[in-house]
Structure 1
Amino acid sequence: MPTRPVPREHQMRRTQWVEIALTLLVLVGMAVLFRWPAWIPLFLALMLPLALGLMLWQYRTMDEFRRARYLKAWAASGIMGTFALTGLLMWGVFSGLSPSFAKTPLPGVQLSVWLLYIPWGLSLLTFYAVTAFLYRRDTGG
């Protein structure tokens, strides 16, 4: 017996519920990781494929306009993250320069790992801001 196709909006709603569930799972997992940090590799090994699979599933259920918005937002996010990371690296290299720099082959770059949250946060903010902007522009709202 053939089944009738599920409307695209219903499929998108289903992916959004799975996204909410995965987000809650990640938040619970992060709380557990604060208690047992040795589980970070296992957590990443489980969550990264799930997140990638969800993103691909969402992309496949999108119409052409949503796909275009999605790809533009990811492109802007990548560019912003790259600029922010490059800025951090340049800051680390040039803040360590001294007159003795010419005598050493490579400068020692000393940056805190916590500073990597800056480009990560900027990438996320850029993704959501560009998505919201393009959605408002496309819908006239």
Structure 2
Amino acid sequence: MAQSNGVKNQTSAQELPPVSDIQDPVASEAQGELVADVQDIDGILNSLKTLLSSVEKLQKIRQEVGDVKPLIGRMLDGELMAGEELEQLKTGVSGLSRLIRAYSDHQAALAKAQPARNLLDQVLKGSQAN
């Protein structure tokens, strides 16, 4: 028979946490993954919105600059311009720097939105199976 060393090894009810406070590690991990998945999806959707916005901005600036492309070509050919054509040319040249920034923003948004491709593939495969 085991010998007692005289120390009582009892825990009172006050020292135990309530059953509702005890978390199942497997359930906690699954819940954590679910939260991470939702955050990933939100991030992906936000990156798609950013990409769409950058595409719209890029297209608008391209159109503005594209309207002066013939004038820039004429200027590069050495032709002199005056009046309204010269004002359009000034606007177009300043638009080129906006175009470069918009293009850079678009490239960054495009790279950030690439995970959306995988999500779209997963969603479409799931919907085709039904």
The alignment's TM-score, normalised by the length of structure 1, stands at 0.34
Q: Which has the higher contact order (CA 8 A, sep 6+)?
A: 2
* Greater gyration radius: 2
- TM-score, normalised to structure 2's length? 0.37
Counting helix residues as a fraction of each chain, which structure ranks higher?
1
